[in-house]
Structure 1
């Protein structure tokens, strides 16, 4: 293998061994034994990675930890606002599915549209950035609300619970039923709620490093009676959400998808 491939293998070993903040690190022998490389190769490799800032070695234990360069890069990536981090993915997804895409955040009982990505073929749904919509009456809003406990949702809606759409949950109890379903399958669906003739499919992403939650959604013409969601929309949104979740360590989504795959 090349030096780059060997260095990559070392970094993957950190992940496999669960070496994170607070872990003492990997020893020279750990690398030799796990990667089955000659000691001379490992010695040169670790020395180079240390000098380049990819690794650092504890002067007392002589164990290797992730270096400051990688930590600085990962910190910069993880500190990027989640809305900005999801934008390139949603731009591409909107183009591929030809649906109107949205990235939204929760503001009290409403969602604020943070980004809109115009579709092409499906009926254009234009809800510009900055718009506020009732969270409980939208697919994205319910996808985000599902990240909270039932008690937290009840507290958020303490007082009067109003619904304008005939197709939205009529009470807080019915809303909690919908949220339980979303927690089970990871997807939130709205059919003819905000606008007649328009349906939406949504997911949510949690960045634990910044304690941020955003909703990702696609809007499209409502399927005819008896028809399902147009091909590619569900798979596309699921794939994008999974990819972002894996990058950000969104354990809820990743674990859910693993369980779904066993069913």
Structure 2
């Protein structure tokens, strides 16, 4: 139970959390007075917080009633999708790691970057390419290129128009060369790269496709250039992506 002393000492974040916590599962909207009573906060404080949250779409207002906003559901969905994806992917990633001996990564496209959502470590002497939640530029990674090869033209166009910087001296940033590479990747089903994103690293990646062939994510096997020949591990990576795409489709997740 939040007490009067609590209301005098808490941070702004605590107060916002108290407002969110005040909503029950079956509430059909709350007025400011009821929201303030449940949150144990002054009505004037709740009124100010609610106005800011409505402006940011974290709350919706209908007359004098407030509801949890659509942006909260959008954020929850963005968290739920990687969780479901990891659930399906981890067994396949482990099999790919065992088959290649290399670290296996799962990543999704976010803007001009790939974001790593799961990693199964392989070659112990090789420094990890990234951490979960880490980012690398999509144009300089096999993971990113595998996704972009199946992405809508406007998505690819935005990245090209952004004139991506050369990440290493091996990166491909010239637009026409990049587009030609995407055509080849789409035909072969596999993207490869050698020291384009990180010096000393080589990688093969393949897109995980959903309904209508839309890319959901990409899976890769990566290791040191002394141990990995991308073309040799490409068939195993492509097979893993096909398996994962089928499992996700069979579960009706996308």
Question: TM-score, with normalisation over the residues of structure 2?
Answer: 0.58
5+ residue gaps in structure 2? 1-80
- Matched with 1:235 is 235
**Comparing 180-189 and 87-96, the one that deviates more:** 87-96
**Does residue 1:118 correspond to 2:88, yes or no?**
no
Runs (5+) with no aligned partner, structure 1: 1-77, 251-263
Shift of 1:175: 1.3
Work out the number of aligned pairs and report it: 170
Q: Which residue of 2 aligns with 1:145?
A: 148
Instruction: Please state whether the residue corresponding to 2:161 is helix, strand or coil.
Output: coil
Are positions 1:180 and 2:183 aligned together? yes
Instruction: Please tell me whether the aligned partners of residues 83 and 214 of structure 1 are also in contact (alpha carbons under 8 angstroms).
Output: no
**Aligned-partner Cα distance in 2 for 1:94–1:188:** 18
Aligned mates of 1:113, 1:216 — CA distance in 2 = 10
Give the Å deviation of 1:148.
Answer: 1.6
Kept in 2: contact 1:99–1:122 (CA 8 A): no
Partner of 2:164, secondary structure, is coil
Structure-1-length-normalised TM-score: 0.57
Question: Aligned equivalents of 1:218 and 1:144: distance in 2?
Answer: 15
Deviates more, 1:144-153 or 1:179-188: 144-153
Q: Is the CA contact 2:163–2:173 (under 8 Å) kept in the aligned structure 1?
A: no
Structure 2 CA distance for partners of 1:201 and 1:159, relative to 1, 3 Å: closer
Secondary structure, aligned partner of 2:246: helix
**Residues 127-183 of structure 1: per-residue CA shift (max 9 Å, x gap):** 110111000000000001111244431134434332222111122222111111100
Q: Does 1:129 align with 2:144?
A: no
Instruction: Give the RMSD, CA atoms, in angstroms.
Output: 3.0
**Aligned ranges 1:54-73 → 2 under 5 Å:** none
Determine the C-alpha separation between the residues in 2 that align with 1:184 and 1:113. Answer: 25
Aligned to 2:216: 213
Contact 1:98 1:121 in 2 (8 A): no
What residue in structure 2 maps to residue 245 of structure 1?
Answer: 245
